[in-house]
Each structure stands twice: as structure tokens, then as C-alpha cells.
Chains A and B, each alone.
Chain A
Amino acid sequence: MRSSVIVFPGSNCDRDVAVALEKFHIKNQMVWHNDTNLPKTDLVVLPGGFSYGDYLRTGCIASKSKIIDDVIRHAKKGGLILGICNGFQILIEAGLLPGILLRNIGLRFLSKNVFLKVVNTDNQFCLNYKNKDIIQLPIAHNEGNFFAKKELLKMLEDNNLIAFKYCNKNGEIEENSNPNGSSNNIAGVISEKKNILGMMPHPERLIDPLLSGEDGSILFTSLIKS
């Protein structure tokens, strides 16, 4: 499998995710935001960080970068796209995923490990979570409060397009385990064709037992399963 990590000015998890991809033998290339064409690639990754300093609106300016047109073409062809944290915000701004990411309800940046329930394991990113669907991953964001109108929420639920929900350690989805105020505790969503995943938690940060867990690894092993 080949991947391309897009580097925007202000991206800061680009190296971390590249390290994770390479650890699982995915052949990765870094792609500069000003390029117009993606190299030959199966997976495009939009990494976390503060693209364009979060100015205007998180992800907004990056979603107008030169490379994004080709990312959209890649999406339309059914190519895989993973957006993590700021990458998720960019995917929404680019219209590739629905919803809005608002500021955290507590109006504070939050960096901590959270429990997640893997709601949909029937997609290329989450296949291997079938055996372990209550996991822990770090979040680190200021604008991760996923908001959607009632109709959209219903559509996402009915069509099983929610990948992850914040939960407690027993996997129960409850308000107390919702760190940022997201509608229905949503932490990650997938596109209708299931080729695009946007998520606030950082799987690339938990791929090593030394770093107190490997739940992030499962996402990458799922990707190489095909």
C-alpha cells in the first residue's frame, strides 16, 4: 500500500503519522500543499496540527490549498482518505465529510486519553477493531465539538456512518464521557462510500507499548489488510 501525507504550513503531526505508516510497511511520501498533483497513492492522509495557524476558521484555508482539488478527485475515484484532528477539520471544510467542528464545550484545549467505542468496523480503517471495539486514544484539540443538525445526525446513525463515539471504560456512550460536547458523542465519521474517515483522536500517537498502549496500531493494521 502507498500513502501520501499532505504537509500544510502549520501541520505538526505530519511526521508522527508518517512514522506510524512506515512502521506498518505502508510506503509513504510527504506531499507539499502547493503541489497540484498527488503521486500514485492508495491512501491520502491529512495530518493534525494548526494549518495556517487556525486563522479564519480551523481547516478553512487549508481546504483551499492547491493540492485539495486532486485530493477531491482521489476521493471521487473511491481512494482512501484519512483526516486526523486538523485533518478532519479540513475534510469538513472541503465538503468531503458532513457536519461542523465547533470549539470544545468547555472552551479549553483538551489533551488527554479518552475511551472510544468503535461503532462501525465495516470499513477499511476499522476492520481489525472487530476483536476490540472499546479502545483508548489521545485527543488534543480545541475545536473537536462535532455538531450536526437533527436530520444529519439521523442520517449518520441510520446509515451507520459513525466510526467512533466517546464512551466510558465499559463502552457505554454517556454524557460524562463526552470530552468536548460532540453531538451523540461522535468522535469520527465516515463517508457514504466508506472510503473517507475523519476523526478527532490521534491513532498515530498510540502505536507502541512504551507509550502506554497500542490501540492506534489496529487502525494501521486494518489499512494493510486489503
Chain B
Amino acid sequence: MKITPEIIDKHGIKPDEYKKIIKLIGKNPNLLELGIFSAMWNEHCSYKSSKKYLKTLPIKNDKVIQGPGENAGIVDIEDNDAIVFKIESHNHPSFIEPYQGAATGVGGILRDVFTMGARPIATLNSIHFGSHLHSKTKNLLNGVVLGIGGYGNCMGIPTIGGEVKFNSSYNENILVNAMAVGLVKKNKIFYSKAKGINQPVIYVGSKTGRDGIHGASMASNKFDNNSEQKKPTVQVGDPFTEKLLLEACLELMKDNSIISIQDMGAAGLTSSSVEMASKGNLGIELELEKVPCREENMTPYEIMLSESQERMLLILNSGKENQAKKIFSKWGLDFSIIGKTTNSKNLILNYNGNEVANLPLSSLSKDAPEYDRKWIKSTNSKKTENPKNFKSLKISTCLEKILKSPNNSEKSWVWEQYDHTVMGDTVQKPGGDSGVIRIHGKNKGIALTVDSSANYCLADPVTGAKQVVCETWRNLISVGSKPLAITNCLNFGNPEKDKIMGQFVETIDGISQACTYLDFPVVSGNVSFYNETKNNSIPPTPTIGGVGLIKNLNNMMTKNFKEPENHIFVIGKTLGHLYQSEFFREIMNFNNGPPPKVNLFNEKNNGLLILDLISKKLVSSVHDISSGGMLIALSEMCISGKIGAKIRIPNNIIGKHEYLFGEDQSRYIVEISEKNKKEAIKILEKNSVYYEVIGKTQKDYLDLEKEFKINISELSKFNSIWFKNYFEENYGS
């Protein structure tokens, strides 16, 4: 077959990239070779637009065992235990086929974690949809939630946190970001780097089918009117097989048979074999007729580019083949020796004895294009006129409206479809500031959260990105954990546009600043560009997944108010910043202006102080103040604790709307008993932390002096009806 410009274009390869290929390999590629380049050089696999900036992120401290570059990042949690975690996007496939897209998103990220020898112990997800009024949203939301649940529930791994957001900018480009977290012994970590020549290369797991061919290339392109025709590029998941694969791999990992292991994710057999061999600075030779296939007459091209799920590539110590085969047969999985490592530094593919491809590995990995794309500074939203007349609005009406809005509604309709208690170690369920999982058999735990703030990021990417990192940090602090590290999923539009590239560059700058200051390194992540349809791009949406350590679970904190007659403190200063707030958005339909400023000193100082108060057992509940502001945070503490509060706005120079709904950063609400009040104040003052006492907890009513008094059960109803109404469901209580 002659390689025409049309074929090259269909493979997403630009004319100058094609020239580079010929120069690197010294010949014209055949179709299979072109397909391999297409799989390795696309944005999704090569990070060609983002690499330059990703290198600037802080990725190390004394807790980091593995930073970016492996299947997942790893942090030390002491006692020879380590946590393996990563977040990844599955945006494009989920829009085309929501159930399978989301399901295989979960499946893929779980494989990244157990590839490293870790047993997955939790998953989380961040999902963004278009406006709830958009015709596609209901179906997409339903499909994505069913897909996440369908996969995670069957695997028996608790889904313990996440976020669900709606905004019309995602109408044609939804986001599905899934995070997986695993536990491994520090001395039993497995890596993907191949070692030694003439070692057997083993294929295990499901058979290879024709699904998902060119999935990664699809995810490296924008959508147009024909996007839905791309359905065949979406993979189909089988969580049952993945569960078997998980158990079989962990069983094999108990001894020292495996030299290296890599899951077949994006770009399937191509990227796994190329990555393993090039990391080890070796060559690899495969016999493609030995690859177990689901369908007849699959061509080498299809075999190499299929993204069929639930497959792994292993390099074994030679001589261990039979022992390994026994384990995989016990679990009913395919096992095939398909090749060997060589010293050629080339990828050589044979099919029925004929060489069908021969490429230098360096051309696929280290010599892949890396771009320094043009970018421009974002024109950040300036302070403009305030929307008029909000000062006369009744506080209670505004509160009700915000609590009832899709973005601020309580999300149990979603997370009750995810098994969140399997494995018997879920100490804090979804719905709190972070989920908390006990380390099996021990009295320590990890706190997990995922966060994003796309509205802030669109208005000012640097500040917005800083804010998301801080929000993650606060959510980890609020449950009493020491923040350790993050993973990030960077969702953007088309990087070939200087404005979008600018958003990306600035986002990295913001994340870098915050992570450096807070000593909160980035250990893994993923970039998803081209979230764009017909020239409409999503807002810059960095999603941050955070992990924190609770050394003693008896010190874990929750957000629910515990008992009446305790004092309510607001830690951190309230300035009344309403631009980009839920109040302006939901009540005034006003979207302009800058996001709240982020002061990293206050963030760190206030956070560490809260941790100190928690460890000294001086506080009964803690909740960070985030989207919606103080009154929303208070309502959430009342609703979850079924306890009321009597609040008095301090004599303040700012207006009451600003005070109650402002979204100033670095703030927490804490509940402190009369007994502990004196001691707590002493510590607050010693550390020069700003605080206000705004009232006391009480039975049954949220009571704002001179404004309103509302029963907690009614407040709870406001907050919980939206999803059920949206799906017209009313079964049980």
C-alpha cells in the first residue's frame, strides 16, 4: 500500500512530522510503521506540547519514592508501606460512549496502579458535564455514573470521593477524570523498565480484538460534527477479567519472576513494548502471530494498534515461564510468550516468519517531537461593576437557591451508586472534605480528595491553579491528615492555539508556585488537550488529586457538627470576595471579575494550625470554606450533623452578602467546646492566626440573627432533592 498524504493526515501526522520520521528511520515507513508512529507521536502518548512545562513542576521531597514517568507516582507512608496513585482522563471516549468510556477510564487507571505491585484500595473521580438543561447532559451523566460504578463495583474497590460539576462550557466536551490509589510494600514495587537480553516477553489477560484502534489518536484531536462516528475507537471494558488479571498479577508478584511489567493502555501493545524496551535501553522483537486474538484474520496493524482492555505485557526472568503460566491458567487468562528482549535497540515485528516492521526505538520515544508552542498571556478578568441590587436580596432565599442548584447539591444520588464500603476499611465515606481509608490491619489511614475550580481558572489561570492546589490541601487538612503529594489531570482545549497554550503555561505556573510553597509535590498525572468542539474550548480545568496521611486514626476529623452549645469559630479572614462566587453565578447570573486571591503564607499557616488543633483534640468538627462561602459551609455542617447553629454576623464593615457568600481563601469553620475554648484561643493567638467567633451550635435550627431561622431537616431537603428530581426517581427513603 502506497503511503499517500491523505493516509498520513488520517494518522494525525503533520507533513513536517512525516519528514522527520523519514529522516529518523532512513526509509519510507510502511503502513504498520506509520501506524506505530501515529500511536507514539500523538499528543496523548508523547506529551509533545506539554513536556517542556511539565518539567518545571516540583516532583520531589523526602516522601516521594517515584515521581512522574512511571505508571503511577509513589509516596512513603512509613512502616515499609507506600501509596501508589495517579489520575487520568477519559474525556473523549466518554462523550462518544459514556458507559464504556467511563468504565474503561476506571479500568485503565486501576491497571496503572496494580502494574506497580500495589493492591488498589480506593478510586475517586472528577466528572464535568454541560448545563443540566442541555439535551445530552442527562444521558451522559447517567451513562458515566453507571460506567464508573459498573467497573469499580465489580472490581471490589471502594469509590470514596469525587466531584460532579455542570457548566455549559462542557456541553460538547465532558470530562471524566478517574484516580486510583493502591497500597504496596516499599520493597515490593514493580517498574516498567526492561532489563537483560533474551528474556521472554509475555502477553497476559484478555484477547486482542479490533476495539479501540487509534483511541489515543482520537483523544489527540478535537471534535467535529462527526464525532459520534468515532464510536468504534472506544474500548469495551470487562471488569470481571480485570479482577482476575489483578489477582493473577498480584499472585505472580509474590516471588521474583517478573523483571518488568507494563499495562497495555493507550496505544496498546505498541506503547507498552516500546516503553519497556526504551526505558531499559534495549531492543525488543515480537512474533505477532502469537498474540491471542479475539477475532479472525487480524492484521499486524490491527494487533499493534488495538486498545482492547485488560491486557498486560511482562518481561520474565527466563525459566519462570511455566510457573507464571500456571497462575494465569488458574485464573482462566490467556498467557502467551510473544517475543524477547534483544540488544538491537530496535522494535522488530515479525508475522508468520516475515519481518513486518523494524524501527529504531529512539525514533519512537526520545526523538519524538517536542514543541515549544506559541502562547499568549491570558487577559484576566478585571474587577468590573458589581451586579446591581443584590444587597436587598433576602439571605434565606439566596441560601435556598444555592443549596438547591445542581452544582451545590449534595451528591449522594451519585456516590450511593458506587460501592464505597467494600474492603472494610472505609473510615470516612464520600460527602466529607476527603474520603479516608484505613491501611489494612493498622491504625493509620490515608485521606483522599479530588478538586477542580474551572471558573476561577478561566478568569485567571495562575490564581485559579494555585487555588485548586490549596483547596486540595485544605480538604486533606480538614479530616486531620498531613498532606503528602498530588497527582494532576490537566484538561485543556487545542494547544495549537496560542490562547489555550497560554492557559496551560499559566496553569502549570500556578500549580508549581502552590506546590513548591506547600511542599506538596506532583508525583504523577496526565494531560488531556483538544477538549474542543467546533472552536468552543472547555475552560482550563486542572483537576488535582491529593493524598494525606493520618498517623493515628483516632485523630481523624469530620465536618458534621457534634453537639449543641459548642462555639463556632471561623479561622482565616473574611474579606467578602464575591467575583466568581456561586452567589454571583447562581443568584445574579454574573460571571465576570477575578477569582479570590490566594495567599500561600496564610494557606500554610492556617492549615498547619488546624492540624495542630485537631491533633490536640481541641476541635469537634472542621470544614473548609470553599465554593458558596461561609453560609453554605455552615449549612453543610448542620445538615451532616443534624445539629443547628445560632449565628450572629460580627460588626463588620463589609456587607452581609459579602460576609456570608464571599469565597475568600484559606478559611475553615471549626466547632470548639466551652472546655477547649480557652486553650484553642491561646494557640490561635500565639500563631497570629485570624479568627472570629460567630455563634454557637444548637438543636434543630440554623438561626441567623435578624435574618432567618430554618429547620435543619428542611435545609437538608433543599440540598438533596435536585438529582432525584432531575432523574424523576423516588424509591425508598
A residues sitting closer than 8 Å to B (CB atoms) are 9-10, 12-13, 15-16, 19-20, 48-50, 52-55, 104-106, 108-112, 138, 140, 142, 168, 176-181, 202, 204-205, 207-208, 210-211
Q: Chain B residues near A181 (CB, 8 Å)?
A: 731
Contact A9–B416 (Cβ < 8 Å): no
> Inside 8 A of A176's CB, which chain B residues have their CB?
732-733
| CB contact under 8 A between A140 and B153, given known A16-B424, A111-B420, A211-B426 | yes
Listed by A's residue number, 6 A-B pairs whose Cβ atoms lie within 8 Å are A9-B243, A54-B154, A106-B729, A168-B733, A177-B732, A204-B424
Residue contact B154 to A16, C-beta cutoff 8 Å? no
Known: A140-B419, A177-B732, A210-B438. A12 touches B424 (CB 8 A): no
Interface size for B (C-beta < 8 A) is: 35
Chain B positions 231 through 255: 1 when the CB is less than 8 Å from some CB of chain A, otherwise 0: 0000000111101100000000000
A177–B733 touching, CB < 8 Å: yes
From A48, A138, A178, A207, residue with most partner B Cβ within 10 Å: A138
CB nearest neighbor in B for A48? B422
For the complex, is B423 an interface residue (Cβ under 8 Å from A)? yes
Which residue from chain B places its CB closest to the CB of A52 in the assembled complex? B240
Q: Are A205 and B238 in contact (CB under 8 A)?
A: no
CB pair B733–A13 under 8 Å, yes or no, is no
**B356 contacts partner chain A, Cβ-Cβ < 8 Å:** no
- Identity of the chain B residue whose Cβ is nearest the Cβ of A216 in the assembled complex: B424
**Given A10-B243, A111-B417, A16 contacting B733 (CB threshold 8 A):** no
Shortest Cβ gap from A7 to chain B (Å): 9
B415 / chain A contacts, CB cutoff of 8 Å: 111
Closest 8 interchain pairs by CB?
A12-B156, A53-B240, A106-B731, A140-B419, A16-B424, A50-B154, A179-B732, A111-B419
State the CA gap A202–B422 with chains docked (Å). 9
Give the docked Cα–Cα distance between A20 and B427 (Å).
Answer: 16
CB pair A205 B421 closer than 8 Å: yes
Contact A16 B422 (CB under 8 A): yes
A108 contacts B240, C-beta separation under 8 Å: no
* Bound Cα distance A5, B630 (Å): 50
Q: Let me know if B39 is at the binding interface, CB within 8 A.
A: no
With beta carbons under 8 angstroms apart, the residue of B150, B238, B331, B421 that contacts A140 is B421
Please give me the residue from chain A that is nearest to B554 by CB atom: A210
A53 touches B419 (CB 8 A): no
Known: A19-B424, A178-B732. A10 touches B153 (CB 8 A): no
Q: CA–CA, A110 to B415, complex, Å?
A: 9
Identify which of B146, B155, B243, B424 contacts A211 (C-beta below 8 A).
B424
- Is B421 within 8 A of A109, CB to CB? no
Is B149 an interface residue when CB atoms closer than 8 A count as contact?
A: yes
Q: How far is the CB of A184 from the nearest CB of chain B, in Å?
A: 15
A53 lies within 8 A of B239 (CB): yes
B424 touches A50 (CB 8 A): no
**Bound Cα distance A12, B240 (Å):** 10
Which of A12, A109, A140 meets B155, CB within 8 Å? A12
Q: In the complex, A176 Cα to B425 Cα: how many Å?
A: 29
Would you call B522 an interface residue if the criterion is a C-beta within 8 Å of the partner chain's C-beta atoms? no
Whether the Cβ atoms of B427 and A109 lie closer than 8 Å is: no
Closest Cβ of chain A: how far from B143's Cβ, in Å? 13
The contact of B240 among A16, A55, A112, by CB within 8 Å, is A55
* CB of A53, distance to nearest CB on chain B (Å): 3
Given the contacts A108-B417, A111-B416, A111-B417, A15 and B423 also touching, CB distance less than 8 Å = yes
Asked whether any CB of chain A lies closer than 8 Å to the CB of B476, the reply is no
Q: Which residues of B contact A13 (CB under 8 A)?
A: 156, 422
Question: Is residue B553 within 8 Å, beta carbon to beta carbon, of the partner chain?
Answer: yes
Q: A174: nearest residue on chain B (CB-CB)?
A: B733
Kindly report which residue of chain B lies nearest to residue A7, judged by CB atoms: B247
Question: Closest Cβ of chain A: how far from B190's Cβ, in Å?
Answer: 21
